[in-house]
Amino acid sequence: MEVEVKLRLPDAAAHELLAIALSPFHLRTHIQENLFFDGADGELSARQAVLRIRFYDGDSRCVLSLKSRARLVDGISRVEEAEEDIDPSLGRACVVEPCRLNAISATSEILRTVKDEFGIGGEGNESRGSAFVCLGGFRNVRAVFGWKEGLTLELDETRYDFGTSYELECETGEPEKAKEMLERFLSEKGVEYSYSTASKFAVFRAGKLIP
């Protein structure tokens, strides 16, 4: 179970102000490209599951992930998540030809789950509902900070075809405590924020920024 605090920033000015405040804690910045997949009949979306391939900094790393049973309440997200590193060249091939995901189903626990639980993919399975399709995706600039009490913060600038959103995330086993610390910090620095009400994928699928 992945548990995160998610706080939305209203605009680029708030993002810049927070980036300056966090600059002493900066560790690294990643350029992420996120592509999403489903079955031809939307089998994953129908059950609130998300299959994603993420590329880091061009093709330096590629991660396949499956998220399901997501809940986002009062700025705290809880979601079941599994991740696997895959070869970036294979990831690129899967984006161009989603059926290539079948080629790694024998060695991927995630894709076995997708086949067994959702009926998508698997070599030799040719029913219409079993075909993988690529839904497209978005890019994300993620600055990572090593903050107080061992907390890692991620400051995101997410670029969709229809606009840009800004968000601060913190994965933690003590979300209420972390949220309180972050809210106090943001208030002290004069950074406006609100609780995130939708995941990045939900915003992407909606086709518009969610206030």
- Please compute Rg for the chain using Cα positions: 18
pLDDT for the residue 210: 84
pLDDT for the residue 129: 42
pLDDT for the residue 128: 41
Cα-Cα-Cα-Cα dihedral sign, residues 203, 122, 81, 107: negative
Task: Return the amino acid letter for 170.
Answer: C
pLDDT for the residue 127: 42
Interacting residues of 19 by C-beta distance below 8 A, sequence separation 6+: 143, 155
Per-residue confidence in pLDDT tens, the chain, 211 aa = 899 999 999 999 999 999 999 999 999 999 999 999 999 999 999 999 999 999 999 999 999 999 999 999 999 999 999 999 999 999 999 999 999 998 888 899 999 999 999 999 765 444 444 699 999 999 999 999 999 999 999 999 999 999 999 999 999 999 999 999 999 999 999 999 999 999 999 999 999 998 7
Place of tokens 């330096």: 60
